[in-house]
Amino acid sequence: RPFVAERNGVCVFKNDIYYFYEITDPEQTAWIFGDRLAIHVGGQTTTLELDPSKLHKRMASDATWLSENYVMNADKKTLEAYRRIAKSDSAYIVYYKVGGKQRRHDLSATELQRIREMVELYDILRQP
């Protein structure tokens, strides 16, 4: 879930990695406590290392759902991966913990379009 923000007068491309799980999910992955995100597009894989101390966790009071997410500034390699996604008709991501669980998500046409729009917006706002 990329988005564009402003910080101290500078346009920043942000990366929001969001994992949501419902107890009725047939894959039964539950908590992953991910420390990596692999972005697969156009035959290339970009792996982001995540800082577990910045992981935000939530669980419903009745334990019917949970979520994990990270929000961070996109570095150069992350922005390059988003640019590849913006030019592609398909891509998928894998959120995982090294030596632990993982979850794959194929990006929908709507998600691909939103990424294209965020990359375009970022480029427009960065122009002098």
Q: Percent of the chain beyond pLDDT 90?
A: 91
Q: How confident is the model at residue 28 (pLDDT cuts 50, 70, 90)?
A: very high
Q: How confident is the model at residue 10 (pLDDT cuts 50, 70, 90)?
A: confident
Kindly report, residue by residue over 45-88, the tens digit of the pLDDT: 999 999 999 999 999 999 999 999 999 999 999 999 999 999 99
Pairing of strands 36-41, 44-49: antiparallel
How large is the average pLDDT for residues 17-39? Answer: 96
| pLDDT above 80 (res 128) | no
Burial 47-80 (b: 16+ CB within 10 A, else e): ebebeeeebeeeeeeeeeebebbbeeebeeebbe
| pLDDT score for 9 | 81
Give the torsion sign (CA, 126, 92, 39, 69): positive
| pTM confidence score | 0.90
Average pLDDT of the chain to the nearest whole number? 94
Kindly report, residue by residue over 110-119, the tens digit of the pLDDT: 999 999 999 9
Q: How confident is the model at residue 126 (pLDDT cuts 50, 70, 90)?
A: confident
| C-alpha distance from residue 114 to each of 26, 85, 109, 118 (Å) | 28, 10, 9, 6
